[in-house]
Structure 1
Protein backbone atom coordinates (compact mmCIF):
# COMPACT_ATOMS: atom_id res chain seq x y z
CA UNK A 1 0.00 0.00 0.00
CA UNK A 2 2.58 2.50 -1.18
CA UNK A 3 1.95 6.06 -2.35
CA UNK A 4 4.52 8.52 -3.77
CA UNK A 5 6.07 10.53 -0.95
CA UNK A 6 4.92 13.89 -2.29
CA UNK A 7 1.26 12.90 -2.20
CA UNK A 8 0.70 14.14 1.36
CA UNK A 9 2.36 17.51 1.08
CA UNK A 10 -0.73 19.71 1.32
CA UNK A 11 -0.42 23.45 0.86
CA UNK A 12 -3.06 25.94 1.95
CA UNK A 13 -3.70 26.70 -1.70
CA UNK A 14 -4.44 23.06 -2.55
CA UNK A 15 -7.31 20.61 -2.31
CA UNK A 16 -6.54 16.91 -2.63
CA UNK A 17 -9.11 14.44 -3.93
CA UNK A 18 -8.69 10.67 -3.64
CA UNK A 19 -10.72 8.12 -5.61
CA UNK A 20 -11.00 4.61 -4.22
CA UNK A 21 -12.70 1.53 -5.65
CA UNK A 22 -13.85 -0.04 -2.39
CA UNK A 23 -14.56 -3.40 -3.97
CA UNK A 24 -10.92 -3.79 -4.93
CA UNK A 25 -9.97 -3.37 -1.27
CA UNK A 26 -12.28 -6.08 0.02
CA UNK A 27 -11.03 -7.99 3.07
CA UNK A 28 -10.31 -11.59 2.05
CA UNK A 29 -13.03 -12.97 4.34
CA UNK A 30 -15.40 -10.02 4.18
CA UNK A 31 -17.21 -8.44 7.10
CA UNK A 32 -20.20 -10.10 8.74
CA UNK A 33 -23.49 -8.29 9.07
CA UNK A 34 -22.90 -7.82 12.80
CA UNK A 35 -19.75 -5.90 11.91
CA UNK A 36 -17.28 -8.55 13.10
CA UNK A 37 -14.18 -8.94 10.99
CA UNK A 38 -13.54 -12.08 8.96
CA UNK A 39 -10.13 -12.76 7.49
CA UNK A 40 -7.08 -12.45 9.71
CA UNK A 41 -4.97 -10.84 6.99
CA UNK A 42 -6.92 -7.58 7.06
CA UNK A 43 -6.69 -5.08 9.92
CA UNK A 44 -9.26 -2.57 8.65
CA UNK A 45 -11.70 -3.49 11.39
CA UNK A 46 -9.13 -2.79 14.09
CA UNK A 47 -8.68 0.80 12.90
CA UNK A 48 -12.30 1.75 13.55
CA UNK A 49 -13.68 3.40 16.66
CA UNK A 50 -16.40 1.72 18.71
CA UNK A 51 -19.12 3.92 17.22
CA UNK A 52 -17.93 3.15 13.68
CA UNK A 53 -17.99 -0.57 14.44
CA UNK A 54 -21.50 -0.21 15.85
CA UNK A 55 -22.59 1.64 12.72
CA UNK A 56 -21.14 -1.10 10.52
CA UNK A 57 -23.04 -3.67 12.56
CA UNK A 58 -26.34 -1.86 11.99
CA UNK A 59 -26.06 -2.02 8.21
CA UNK A 60 -28.34 -4.68 6.84
CA UNK A 61 -26.34 -5.88 3.87
CA UNK A 62 -23.00 -7.61 4.12
CA UNK A 63 -21.78 -5.69 1.10
CA UNK A 64 -22.77 -2.36 2.64
CA UNK A 65 -21.05 -3.25 5.90
CA UNK A 66 -17.86 -4.29 4.12
CA UNK A 67 -17.77 -1.12 2.06
CA UNK A 68 -18.36 1.03 5.13
CA UNK A 69 -15.54 -0.62 7.10
CA UNK A 70 -13.16 -0.37 4.15
CA UNK A 71 -14.09 3.24 3.42
CA UNK A 72 -13.69 4.43 6.99
CA UNK A 73 -10.41 2.57 7.48
CA UNK A 74 -8.94 4.10 4.32
CA UNK A 75 -10.13 7.56 5.37
CA UNK A 76 -8.30 7.09 8.67
CA UNK A 77 -5.13 5.91 6.95
CA UNK A 78 -5.11 8.83 4.53
CA UNK A 79 -5.67 11.38 7.29
CA UNK A 80 -3.06 9.61 9.42
CA UNK A 81 -0.56 9.99 6.58
CA UNK A 82 -1.29 13.72 6.26
CA UNK A 83 -0.81 14.20 10.00
CA UNK A 84 2.40 12.18 9.94
CA UNK A 85 3.61 14.31 7.04
CA UNK A 86 2.94 17.45 9.09
CA UNK A 87 4.65 16.02 12.17
CA UNK A 88 7.70 14.97 10.15
CA UNK A 89 8.14 18.39 8.58
CA UNK A 90 7.64 20.19 11.88
CA UNK A 91 10.32 17.95 13.37
CA UNK A 92 12.77 18.78 10.60
CA UNK A 93 12.36 15.49 8.76
CA UNK A 94 12.26 16.44 5.07
CA UNK A 95 10.76 13.09 4.12
CA UNK A 96 7.55 13.81 6.04
CA UNK A 97 5.42 10.69 6.11
CA UNK A 98 7.86 8.81 3.85
CA UNK A 99 10.54 6.34 4.84
CA UNK A 100 13.34 7.84 2.75
CA UNK A 101 12.68 5.60 -0.25
CA UNK A 102 10.52 8.12 -2.08
CA UNK A 103 7.35 6.34 -1.02
CA UNK A 104 4.85 6.43 1.83
CA UNK A 105 3.71 3.03 3.09
CA UNK A 106 0.25 3.36 4.59
CA UNK A 107 0.98 0.19 6.56
CA UNK A 108 3.84 1.90 8.41
CA UNK A 109 3.36 1.53 12.15
CA UNK A 110 3.38 5.25 12.90
CA UNK A 111 0.69 5.94 10.26
CA UNK A 112 -1.46 3.04 11.44
CA UNK A 113 -1.20 4.26 15.03
CA UNK A 114 -2.22 7.76 14.04
CA UNK A 115 -5.12 6.35 12.02
CA UNK A 116 -6.31 4.22 14.91
CA UNK A 117 -6.10 7.13 17.36
CA UNK A 118 -8.07 9.64 15.30
CA UNK A 119 -11.17 11.12 16.87
CA UNK A 120 -13.96 12.47 14.72
CA UNK A 121 -16.39 15.14 15.82
CA UNK A 122 -19.66 15.82 14.05
CA UNK A 123 -21.44 19.10 13.44
CA UNK A 124 -25.13 19.66 14.19
CA UNK A 125 -26.05 18.23 10.78
CA UNK A 126 -23.50 15.42 10.83
CA UNK A 127 -20.51 16.90 9.01
CA UNK A 128 -17.35 15.13 10.23
CA UNK A 129 -14.20 16.91 11.38
CA UNK A 130 -11.01 15.99 13.19
CA UNK A 131 -11.38 16.18 16.95
CA UNK A 132 -9.12 16.05 19.97
CA UNK A 133 -5.45 16.99 19.66
CA UNK A 134 -5.57 16.65 15.85
CA UNK A 135 -8.19 19.36 15.41
CA UNK A 136 -6.11 22.46 16.08
CA UNK A 137 -2.56 22.41 14.85
CA UNK A 138 -3.02 20.75 11.47
CA UNK A 139 -6.03 22.81 10.30
CA UNK A 140 -6.92 19.80 8.14
CA UNK A 141 -10.45 19.64 6.83
CA UNK A 142 -12.00 16.82 4.87
CA UNK A 143 -15.18 15.45 3.40
CA UNK A 144 -16.19 12.16 1.85
CA UNK A 145 -18.83 10.63 -0.33
CA UNK A 146 -19.52 7.19 -1.70
CA UNK A 147 -21.86 5.60 -4.18
CA UNK A 148 -22.04 1.85 -4.67
CA UNK A 149 -18.38 0.71 -4.67
CA UNK A 150 -16.75 4.10 -5.23
CA UNK A 151 -15.52 6.32 -2.40
CA UNK A 152 -14.14 9.83 -2.86
CA UNK A 153 -12.27 11.85 -0.22
CA UNK A 154 -11.39 15.55 -0.27
CA UNK A 155 -8.71 16.97 2.04
CA UNK A 156 -7.80 20.64 2.48
CA UNK A 157 -6.13 22.91 4.99
CA UNK A 158 -7.77 25.92 6.57
CA UNK A 159 -10.82 25.94 4.29
CA UNK A 160 -14.10 24.02 4.26
CA UNK A 161 -14.79 21.45 1.56
CA UNK A 162 -17.74 19.32 0.54
CA UNK A 163 -18.14 16.74 -2.18
CA UNK A 164 -20.70 14.40 -3.66
CA UNK A 165 -20.46 11.44 -6.00
CA UNK A 166 -23.40 9.64 -7.56
CA UNK A 167 -23.71 6.63 -9.82
CA UNK A 168 -25.65 7.61 -12.92
CA UNK A 169 -28.91 5.71 -13.29
CA UNK A 170 -30.38 6.24 -16.76
CA UNK A 171 -33.82 4.97 -15.76
CA UNK A 172 -34.67 7.51 -13.08
CA UNK A 173 -37.35 10.12 -13.66
CA UNK A 174 -34.88 12.96 -13.57
CA UNK A 175 -37.21 15.58 -15.00
CA UNK A 176 -39.82 15.01 -12.28
CA UNK A 177 -37.11 15.00 -9.60
CA UNK A 178 -35.74 18.28 -10.91
CA UNK A 179 -39.13 19.97 -10.75
CA UNK A 180 -39.64 18.67 -7.21
CA UNK A 181 -36.21 19.34 -5.67
CA UNK A 182 -34.34 21.89 -7.76
CA UNK A 183 -34.87 25.63 -7.66
CA UNK A 184 -37.27 26.98 -10.31
CA UNK A 185 -34.27 28.50 -12.09
CA UNK A 186 -32.43 25.18 -12.23
CA UNK A 187 -35.50 23.18 -13.26
CA UNK A 188 -36.22 25.57 -16.11
CA UNK A 189 -32.59 25.41 -17.28
CA UNK A 190 -32.62 21.60 -17.16
CA UNK A 191 -35.84 21.28 -19.13
CA UNK A 192 -34.43 23.64 -21.75
CA UNK A 193 -31.40 21.38 -22.32
CA UNK A 194 -31.34 19.07 -25.36
CA UNK A 195 -32.61 15.58 -24.60
CA UNK A 196 -29.16 14.07 -25.13
CA UNK A 197 -27.70 16.23 -22.35
CA UNK A 198 -30.54 16.22 -19.89
CA UNK A 199 -29.52 13.20 -17.81
CA UNK A 200 -25.94 14.43 -17.48
CA UNK A 201 -27.22 17.90 -16.63
CA UNK A 202 -29.44 16.47 -13.90
CA UNK A 203 -26.53 14.68 -12.22
CA UNK A 204 -24.23 17.67 -12.67
CA UNK A 205 -26.77 19.88 -10.92
CA UNK A 206 -27.52 17.34 -8.20
CA UNK A 207 -23.90 16.68 -7.25
CA UNK A 208 -23.03 20.39 -7.32
CA UNK A 209 -25.91 21.15 -4.96
CA UNK A 210 -25.06 18.28 -2.59
CA UNK A 211 -21.39 19.28 -2.52
CA UNK A 212 -22.36 22.83 -1.56
CA UNK A 213 -24.67 21.90 1.31
CA UNK A 214 -22.10 19.40 2.60
CA UNK A 215 -19.36 22.03 2.51
CA UNK A 216 -21.52 24.38 4.57
CA UNK A 217 -22.31 21.56 7.01
CA UNK A 218 -26.04 22.26 6.96
CA UNK A 219 -27.29 19.11 5.28
CA UNK A 220 -30.85 19.38 4.04
CA UNK A 221 -31.60 22.05 6.64
CA UNK A 222 -30.81 24.30 3.68
CA UNK A 223 -33.58 23.54 1.20
CA UNK A 224 -32.33 22.54 -2.23
CA UNK A 225 -34.85 24.97 -3.69
CA UNK A 226 -33.37 27.99 -1.85
CA UNK A 227 -30.17 28.19 -3.88
CA UNK A 228 -29.17 27.68 -7.51
CA UNK A 229 -26.15 26.29 -9.32
CA UNK A 230 -25.43 26.16 -13.02
CA UNK A 231 -26.81 23.11 -14.82
CA UNK A 232 -24.83 22.74 -18.04
CA UNK A 233 -22.52 19.69 -17.59
CA UNK A 234 -20.07 20.95 -20.20
CA UNK A 235 -19.40 24.35 -18.66
CA UNK A 236 -17.51 25.41 -15.55
CA UNK A 237 -19.92 25.08 -12.61
CA UNK A 238 -21.06 28.23 -10.84
CA UNK A 239 -22.98 28.95 -7.65
CA UNK A 240 -25.57 31.36 -9.04
CA UNK A 241 -27.42 32.53 -5.93
CA UNK A 242 -28.28 31.66 -2.32
CA UNK A 243 -31.56 32.98 -1.01
CA UNK A 244 -31.01 35.42 1.85
CA UNK A 245 -27.19 35.13 1.67
CA UNK A 246 -25.85 36.81 -1.47
CA UNK A 247 -22.29 36.87 -0.08
CA UNK A 248 -22.11 33.08 -0.32
CA UNK A 249 -21.78 33.30 -4.09
CA UNK A 250 -18.34 34.88 -3.70
CA UNK A 251 -17.33 32.67 -0.76
CA UNK A 252 -17.50 29.31 -2.54
CA UNK A 253 -16.08 27.71 -5.68
CA UNK A 254 -17.60 24.70 -7.42
CA UNK A 255 -15.64 22.15 -9.41
CA UNK A 256 -16.77 19.07 -11.35
CA UNK A 257 -14.90 15.86 -10.60
CA UNK A 258 -14.04 12.93 -12.86
CA UNK A 259 -14.81 9.88 -10.73
CA UNK A 260 -15.01 7.51 -13.69
CA UNK A 261 -17.47 6.00 -16.17
CA UNK A 262 -21.10 5.87 -15.00
CA UNK A 263 -20.46 8.33 -12.16
CA UNK A 264 -20.86 12.06 -11.64
CA UNK A 265 -19.15 14.09 -8.94
CA UNK A 266 -18.65 17.64 -7.74
CA UNK A 267 -16.58 19.52 -5.18
CA UNK A 268 -17.38 22.73 -3.28
CA UNK A 269 -14.46 24.64 -1.79
CA UNK A 270 -14.35 27.69 0.44
CA UNK A 271 -12.42 30.48 -1.24
CA UNK A 272 -11.21 31.17 -4.74
CA UNK A 273 -7.45 30.73 -4.93
CA UNK A 274 -6.75 27.03 -4.79
CA UNK A 275 -5.74 24.20 -7.10
CA UNK A 276 -6.91 20.63 -7.31
CA UNK A 277 -4.70 17.54 -7.08
CA UNK A 278 -6.37 14.17 -7.69
CA UNK A 279 -5.14 10.62 -7.18
CA UNK A 280 -6.57 7.13 -7.43
CA UNK A 281 -5.61 4.81 -4.61
CA UNK A 282 -4.67 1.39 -5.94
CA UNK A 283 -5.86 -1.85 -4.42
CA UNK A 284 -3.95 -3.68 -1.73
CA UNK A 285 -4.46 -5.61 1.49
CA UNK A 286 -3.51 -3.89 4.71
CA UNK A 287 -2.25 -7.03 6.35
CA UNK A 288 1.08 -8.80 5.77
Structure 2
Protein backbone atom coordinates (compact mmCIF):
# COMPACT_ATOMS: atom_id res chain seq x y z
CA UNK A 1 0.00 0.00 0.00
CA UNK A 2 1.20 3.50 -0.84
CA UNK A 3 0.67 5.93 2.04
CA UNK A 4 -0.32 9.60 1.83
CA UNK A 5 -0.53 11.58 5.07
CA UNK A 6 -3.38 14.06 5.57
CA UNK A 7 -4.46 14.52 1.94
CA UNK A 8 -7.66 16.47 1.37
CA UNK A 9 -10.52 13.96 1.31
CA UNK A 10 -13.54 15.62 -0.35
CA UNK A 11 -16.82 15.11 1.42
CA UNK A 12 -19.34 12.75 -0.21
CA UNK A 13 -16.61 10.93 -2.18
CA UNK A 14 -15.56 7.30 -1.79
CA UNK A 15 -12.15 6.07 -0.65
CA UNK A 16 -10.08 4.96 -3.68
CA UNK A 17 -8.15 2.51 -1.51
CA UNK A 18 -7.99 2.46 2.30
CA UNK A 19 -8.58 5.58 4.37
CA UNK A 20 -7.16 5.53 7.90
CA UNK A 21 -8.77 7.90 10.37
CA UNK A 22 -6.68 8.34 13.54
CA UNK A 23 -7.09 10.27 16.75
CA UNK A 24 -4.86 10.50 19.81
CA UNK A 25 -5.69 11.87 23.23
CA UNK A 26 -4.58 12.02 26.84
CA UNK A 27 -7.58 13.48 28.68
CA UNK A 28 -11.01 14.33 27.25
CA UNK A 29 -12.80 17.36 28.63
CA UNK A 30 -16.45 17.12 29.68
CA UNK A 31 -17.63 19.30 26.78
CA UNK A 32 -15.87 17.05 24.25
CA UNK A 33 -17.32 13.94 25.91
CA UNK A 34 -20.84 15.33 25.74
CA UNK A 35 -20.48 16.42 22.12
CA UNK A 36 -18.97 13.12 20.97
CA UNK A 37 -21.65 11.16 22.85
CA UNK A 38 -24.29 12.90 20.72
CA UNK A 39 -22.92 10.99 17.70
CA UNK A 40 -23.45 7.61 19.39
CA UNK A 41 -26.55 5.46 19.46
CA UNK A 42 -28.55 5.03 22.66
CA UNK A 43 -27.23 1.46 22.93
CA UNK A 44 -23.63 2.66 22.66
CA UNK A 45 -24.17 5.29 25.33
CA UNK A 46 -25.51 2.59 27.63
CA UNK A 47 -22.47 0.38 26.90
CA UNK A 48 -20.21 3.29 27.75
CA UNK A 49 -21.71 3.51 31.24
CA UNK A 50 -20.54 -0.05 31.98
CA UNK A 51 -16.85 0.91 31.89
CA UNK A 52 -15.47 1.25 35.40
CA UNK A 53 -12.37 3.23 34.41
CA UNK A 54 -12.82 6.72 32.87
CA UNK A 55 -9.96 6.08 30.44
CA UNK A 56 -11.65 2.96 29.07
CA UNK A 57 -14.93 4.82 28.64
CA UNK A 58 -13.18 7.66 26.81
CA UNK A 59 -11.43 5.17 24.54
CA UNK A 60 -14.73 3.53 23.61
CA UNK A 61 -16.42 6.91 23.13
CA UNK A 62 -13.70 8.27 20.87
CA UNK A 63 -13.53 5.08 18.79
CA UNK A 64 -17.27 5.07 18.12
CA UNK A 65 -17.39 8.82 17.43
CA UNK A 66 -14.45 8.56 15.02
CA UNK A 67 -16.06 5.66 13.15
CA UNK A 68 -19.40 7.39 12.83
CA UNK A 69 -17.78 10.69 11.80
CA UNK A 70 -15.72 8.94 9.10
CA UNK A 71 -18.75 7.13 7.63
CA UNK A 72 -20.77 10.34 7.58
CA UNK A 73 -17.92 12.17 5.83
CA UNK A 74 -18.42 9.97 2.76
CA UNK A 75 -22.21 9.86 2.73
CA UNK A 76 -23.51 13.04 4.36
CA UNK A 77 -25.81 11.01 6.61
CA UNK A 78 -26.15 11.94 10.31
CA UNK A 79 -23.45 10.30 12.43
CA UNK A 80 -25.93 8.97 14.97
CA UNK A 81 -27.97 7.11 12.30
CA UNK A 82 -25.46 4.34 11.51
CA UNK A 83 -26.42 0.82 12.58
CA UNK A 84 -24.11 -2.15 13.00
CA UNK A 85 -24.28 -5.91 13.45
CA UNK A 86 -21.68 -8.43 14.54
CA UNK A 87 -20.53 -11.43 12.50
CA UNK A 88 -20.22 -14.96 13.82
CA UNK A 89 -16.94 -14.23 15.59
CA UNK A 90 -17.74 -10.68 16.65
CA UNK A 91 -16.46 -8.60 13.70
CA UNK A 92 -18.79 -5.58 13.25
CA UNK A 93 -20.37 -4.69 9.91
CA UNK A 94 -22.65 -1.92 8.67
CA UNK A 95 -26.32 -2.82 8.40
CA UNK A 96 -27.85 0.60 7.64
CA UNK A 97 -29.04 3.04 6.70
CA UNK A 98 -28.89 2.81 2.89
CA UNK A 99 -26.78 5.61 1.44
CA UNK A 100 -26.95 5.10 -2.33
CA UNK A 101 -23.24 4.43 -2.80
CA UNK A 102 -20.88 1.45 -2.83
CA UNK A 103 -20.69 -0.77 0.24
CA UNK A 104 -18.50 0.74 2.95
CA UNK A 105 -16.32 -1.65 4.97
CA UNK A 106 -14.51 -0.65 8.14
CA UNK A 107 -12.40 -1.90 11.00
CA UNK A 108 -11.57 -0.29 14.34
CA UNK A 109 -8.63 -0.57 16.72
CA UNK A 110 -7.71 1.30 19.89
CA UNK A 111 -5.18 1.15 22.68
CA UNK A 112 -3.65 3.50 25.25
CA UNK A 113 -4.10 7.01 23.86
CA UNK A 114 -4.76 6.11 20.20
CA UNK A 115 -7.77 5.19 18.06
CA UNK A 116 -7.64 4.09 14.40
CA UNK A 117 -10.48 3.43 11.97
CA UNK A 118 -9.88 1.98 8.49
CA UNK A 119 -12.52 2.46 5.75
CA UNK A 120 -12.62 1.03 2.22
CA UNK A 121 -14.98 0.07 -0.61
CA UNK A 122 -12.61 -2.60 -1.99
CA UNK A 123 -13.24 -5.54 0.30
CA UNK A 124 -14.87 -6.62 3.54
CA UNK A 125 -11.54 -8.33 4.26
CA UNK A 126 -10.08 -5.29 6.04
CA UNK A 127 -8.27 -5.30 9.37
CA UNK A 128 -6.35 -2.73 11.39
CA UNK A 129 -4.44 -3.09 14.65
CA UNK A 130 -2.73 -0.40 16.71
CA UNK A 131 -0.63 -1.22 19.77
CA UNK A 132 1.19 0.71 22.46
CA UNK A 133 4.67 -0.75 22.20
CA UNK A 134 5.71 0.35 25.68
CA UNK A 135 2.99 -1.45 27.62
CA UNK A 136 3.84 -4.09 30.19
CA UNK A 137 3.74 -7.49 28.49
CA UNK A 138 5.62 -10.77 28.62
CA UNK A 139 6.05 -10.66 24.86
CA UNK A 140 8.32 -13.71 24.77
CA UNK A 141 5.58 -15.84 26.30
CA UNK A 142 2.98 -14.45 23.90
CA UNK A 143 5.30 -15.00 20.94
CA UNK A 144 5.79 -18.64 21.90
CA UNK A 145 2.04 -19.17 21.42
CA UNK A 146 1.40 -17.19 18.21
CA UNK A 147 4.69 -16.91 16.29
CA UNK A 148 5.68 -19.39 13.60
CA UNK A 149 8.93 -21.33 14.15
CA UNK A 150 10.67 -18.98 11.67
CA UNK A 151 9.45 -15.87 13.47
CA UNK A 152 10.38 -17.29 16.86
CA UNK A 153 13.89 -18.07 15.63
CA UNK A 154 14.23 -14.52 14.30
CA UNK A 155 13.05 -13.06 17.60
CA UNK A 156 15.52 -15.11 19.64
CA UNK A 157 18.39 -14.23 17.28
CA UNK A 158 17.93 -10.49 17.83
CA UNK A 159 19.77 -8.49 20.50
CA UNK A 160 17.62 -8.11 23.62
CA UNK A 161 17.11 -4.39 22.96
CA UNK A 162 15.51 -5.10 19.57
CA UNK A 163 13.16 -7.91 20.51
CA UNK A 164 10.26 -5.80 21.77
CA UNK A 165 10.10 -3.82 18.54
CA UNK A 166 10.22 -6.97 16.43
CA UNK A 167 7.52 -8.62 18.52
CA UNK A 168 5.05 -5.76 18.09
CA UNK A 169 5.77 -5.44 14.37
CA UNK A 170 4.82 -9.11 13.85
CA UNK A 171 2.00 -9.10 16.40
CA UNK A 172 0.19 -6.13 14.81
CA UNK A 173 0.44 -7.73 11.35
CA UNK A 174 -1.05 -10.99 12.64
CA UNK A 175 -3.80 -9.14 14.49
CA UNK A 176 -4.66 -7.06 11.40
CA UNK A 177 -4.90 -10.21 9.26
CA UNK A 178 -7.01 -12.05 11.85
CA UNK A 179 -9.38 -9.09 12.09
CA UNK A 180 -9.58 -8.84 8.28
CA UNK A 181 -10.63 -12.50 8.14
CA UNK A 182 -13.17 -11.89 10.91
CA UNK A 183 -11.94 -14.89 12.89
CA UNK A 184 -9.97 -13.38 15.75
CA UNK A 185 -8.29 -16.01 17.89
CA UNK A 186 -10.14 -18.81 16.11
CA UNK A 187 -7.37 -18.49 13.51
CA UNK A 188 -4.07 -20.35 14.20
CA UNK A 189 -1.75 -17.34 14.20
CA UNK A 190 1.37 -19.52 14.26
CA UNK A 191 0.34 -20.89 10.83
CA UNK A 192 1.29 -17.65 9.09
CA UNK A 193 4.76 -16.14 8.96
CA UNK A 194 5.69 -12.57 8.05
CA UNK A 195 8.83 -11.46 6.29
CA UNK A 196 9.71 -7.86 7.13
CA UNK A 197 11.90 -7.11 4.11
CA UNK A 198 12.99 -3.45 3.83
CA UNK A 199 10.98 -2.80 0.66
CA UNK A 200 7.83 -4.82 1.38
CA UNK A 201 5.88 -6.93 3.84
CA UNK A 202 5.41 -10.53 2.77
CA UNK A 203 3.44 -13.36 4.32
CA UNK A 204 3.66 -17.14 4.03
CA UNK A 205 0.91 -19.56 5.03
CA UNK A 206 1.49 -23.09 6.24
CA UNK A 207 -0.52 -26.13 5.17
CA UNK A 208 -2.59 -25.74 8.34
CA UNK A 209 -3.96 -22.45 6.96
CA UNK A 210 -3.75 -22.51 3.14
CA UNK A 211 -4.56 -18.91 2.22
CA UNK A 212 -3.22 -17.11 -0.90
CA UNK A 213 -0.32 -14.84 0.03
CA UNK A 214 -0.58 -12.90 -3.23
CA UNK A 215 -4.19 -12.04 -2.43
CA UNK A 216 -3.27 -9.83 0.52
CA UNK A 217 -1.70 -6.42 0.95
CA UNK A 218 -0.10 -5.25 4.22
CA UNK A 219 1.17 -1.93 5.49
CA UNK A 220 2.79 -0.86 8.76
CA UNK A 221 3.24 2.64 10.19
CA UNK A 222 4.60 4.32 13.30
CA UNK A 223 1.91 6.71 14.55
CA UNK A 224 3.93 8.01 17.50
CA UNK A 225 7.04 7.09 19.46
CA UNK A 226 5.00 4.43 21.27
CA UNK A 227 2.19 3.50 18.84
CA UNK A 228 2.56 1.06 15.93
CA UNK A 229 -0.20 0.36 13.41
CA UNK A 230 -0.65 -2.40 10.83
CA UNK A 231 -3.27 -2.75 8.09
CA UNK A 232 -4.30 -5.86 6.13
CA UNK A 233 -6.66 -5.98 3.16
CA UNK A 234 -7.85 -8.67 0.77
CA UNK A 235 -6.81 -6.88 -2.42
CA UNK A 236 -9.53 -8.31 -4.75
CA UNK A 237 -7.47 -7.99 -7.94
CA UNK A 238 -6.28 -4.47 -7.09
CA UNK A 239 -2.62 -4.07 -8.03
CA UNK A 240 -1.99 -0.88 -6.06
CA UNK A 241 -4.01 0.23 -3.05
CA UNK A 242 -3.53 3.86 -1.95
CA UNK A 243 -3.58 4.45 1.79
CA UNK A 244 -4.66 7.87 3.02
CA UNK A 245 -4.15 9.02 6.62
CA UNK A 246 -6.55 11.47 8.24
CA UNK A 247 -5.72 12.83 11.70
CA UNK A 248 -8.61 14.18 13.76
CA UNK A 249 -8.38 15.69 17.21
CA UNK A 250 -11.13 14.70 19.65
CA UNK A 251 -12.23 18.35 19.69
CA UNK A 252 -12.80 18.32 15.91
CA UNK A 253 -15.05 15.24 15.81
CA UNK A 254 -18.35 16.86 16.90
CA UNK A 255 -17.98 19.59 14.26
CA UNK A 256 -16.99 17.07 11.59
CA UNK A 257 -20.07 15.02 12.43
CA UNK A 258 -22.31 18.10 12.19
CA UNK A 259 -22.86 18.25 15.94
CA UNK A 260 -22.63 21.10 18.41
CA UNK A 261 -20.83 20.99 21.72
CA UNK A 262 -24.18 20.90 23.52
CA UNK A 263 -25.15 17.35 22.49
What TM-score, normalized by structure 2, do the two folds share?
0.83
TM-score (normalised: structure 1): 0.76
Contact 1:30 1:66 in 2 (8 A): no
- Equivalent residue for 1:18, pick from 16, 21, 30: 21
Which digits, 9 at most, give the CA deviation of each residue in 1:47-80, with x for residues without a partner? 2223312221211112211221122112101111
| Structure 1 runs not aligned, ≥5 long | 32-41, 85-110
Query: Which residue number corresponds to residue 247 of structure 2?
Result: 280
Q: Which moved more, 1:276-285 or 1:59-68?
A: 276-285
1:196, distance to aligned residue in structure 2 (A): 3.5
Greater RCO structure (CA 8 Å; 6+ sep): 2
Structure-2 change in CA distance of 1:207 and 1:233 (3 Å): farther
How far residue 258 of structure 1 moved from its aligned partner, in angstroms, is 2.4
1:173 aligns with 138
The aligned runs of 1:128-143 (5 Å cut-off) are 128-134=92-98, 137-143=101-107
Within the alignment, does 1:261 sit opposite 2:261 as a pair? no
Match of 2:177 in 1: 212
Match for residue 91 of structure 1? none
Q: Which residue of 2 aligns with 1:50?
A: 42
Query: Could you tell me how far apart the structure 2 residues matched to 1:52 and 1:268 are?
Result: 27
Aligned partners of 1:268, 1:76: CA distance in 2, in Å?
A: 21
Aligned residues: 245
- The 8 Å contact of residues 239 and 253 in structure 1, kept in 2 or not, is answered as no
Partner of 2:113: 149
Counterpart secondary structure, 1:142:
strand
Task: Indicate yes or no: 2:164 matched with 1:162.
Answer: no
Q: 1:8 to 1:150 in 2, by over 3 A?
A: farther
Aligned CA RMSD, in angstroms, stands at 2.5
Distance in 1, matches of 2:97 and 2:187, equals 31
CA distance in 1, matches of 2:167, 2:142: 9
Q: Distance in 1 between matches of 2:110 and 2:132?
A: 9
Structure ID, larger Rg? 1
* 1:139-195 per-position Cα deviation (integer Å, ceiling 9, x unaligned): 111111001110011111031210100001275332232123212221112112233
SS of 1:124 mapped into structure 2: coil
